[in-house]
Amino acid sequence: MSALFSSANRRRESVKWGLVGYTVVMFSFVTIFTAINLDVQSISYVDNREYPGVTNVLPPGPLGYQSFIYSQAISVVANLMFLLNNWLADGLLLYRCYVIYAMNYWVIAFPFLMYLASVGMGIMLIYQTSQPNSSIWNSVAINFGLPYFSISLSLNILLTLMIVGRLILHSRNIRNAMGVPAGASGLYRAIVTMLIESSALYAVNSLLFVGPWGANSHVADIFLPILAETQVRAFYLPPDAPRSSDMII
């Protein structure tokens, strides 16, 4: 927000109110998710740490209690905030790729179809987990969580590789045209810029969550809150971060 409203930015162009609104909405969603998630953790690990569980259905202890309240409003709202924020984050990454490829619709045609599939699976997932005695950890005939997270992860990796590839090619073409050798400092700046602008941090955190979750390990609970925060943070460069223009040196 500081960069968007900076005097230097306003001199070059008017304030991008669309991006301002998008930023506020994403920040609001992740804040609501974080607050509710912290409440769920305190209720589970402090107030109901001795939850007896349900034989052959729910395990005893905090994890069993979290599964017990998973279909209740407190958990459903948190899951909905996570999904909405996930869709906004993926949409912003898709738009960034679209801009970097000179707004070529054909380049993002397949990623856009993947995005629509991710939204569809997310709707089915929130509907499934809001049913009584349901959670993303339950074994059901059709688990919409697996295709949802798999498609979202695949989309992130694909878009990250597309953006990095485009930036590398752009950097090489400019260096060849200007006859400027790639110095060590320029190379480091180029790598940092590509990792930031491609939102590679988001893709890595998605992998850290989906891997344990696919293996049915509750280690995924550690990375879920981190992923929610990364979805917002990974897309916004700090004011003093390197820009794409640094890659020409």
Task: Flag whether 3 is in a domain.
Answer: no
Which pLDDT band, with edges at 50, 70 and 90, does 25 fall under?
very high
What's the confidence (pLDDT) of residue 242? 40
Is there a domain that residue 24 lies in?
A: yes
Q: Does any domain span residue 1?
A: no
**106 SS3 class:** coil
**Phi, psi dihedrals of residue 54, rounded to the nearest 5°:** -125, 125
Q: Which helix (H) or strand (E) holds 20?
A: helix 17-42
Percent of the chain with pLDDT over 70: 77
Q: How confident is the model at residue 19 (pLDDT cuts 50, 70, 90)?
A: confident
Residue 145 lies in a domain: yes
Q: Does residue 188 have a pLDDT over 80?
A: no
Beta bridge partners of 58: 54
Is a pLDDT exceeding 90 seen at residue 116?
A: yes
Structure token digits, residue 116: 């629509």
User: What pLDDT is recorded for position 247?
Assistant: 35
- First CA to last CA across the chain, in angstroms? 28
Contact between residue 205 and residue 226 where contact means Cβ atoms under 8 Å apart: yes
% of the chain surpassing 90 pLDDT: 13
What mean pLDDT value characterizes the chain?
A: 78
Residue 32, pLDDT above cutoff 90:
yes
| CA–CA dist 30, 16 (Å, integer) | 22
Domain that holds residue 69: 11-248
pLDDT of residue 110: 95
Domain count of the chain? 1
Contact 62, 51 (CB under 8 A): yes
Give the mean model confidence (pLDDT) for residues 208-224: 79
**Higher-pLDDT residue of 175, 94:** 94
Range in 11-25, 134-148, 207-221 with the lowest mean pLDDT:
134-148
Report if residue 2 sits inside a domain: no
- Asked whether residue 6 is assigned to any structural domain, the reply reads no
CA distance linking residue 138 with residue 204, whole number of Å = 26
Q: What's the whole-number mean pLDDT along residues 38-49?
A: 89
- What's the mean pLDDT in 48-67? 81
pTM over 0.95: no
4 found inside a domain: no
Buried (b) or exposed (e) across 192-227, using 16+ Cβ within 10 A?
ebbebbbbbbbbbbbebbbebbeeeeeebbebbbeb
Please indicate, yes or no, if residue 5 is contained in any of the structural domains. no
Across 54-83, average pLDDT: 83
pLDDT at position 239 over 50: no
Between 238 and 195, where is the model more confident?
A: 195
Rounded to whole angstroms, how far apart are CA atoms 126 and 123? 5
Task: Round to whole Å and give the CA distance between 71 and 27.
Answer: 25
Q: Which of 97-111, 175-189, 194-208 has the lowest mean pLDDT?
A: 175-189
Per-residue pLDDT for 135 more than 70? Answer: no
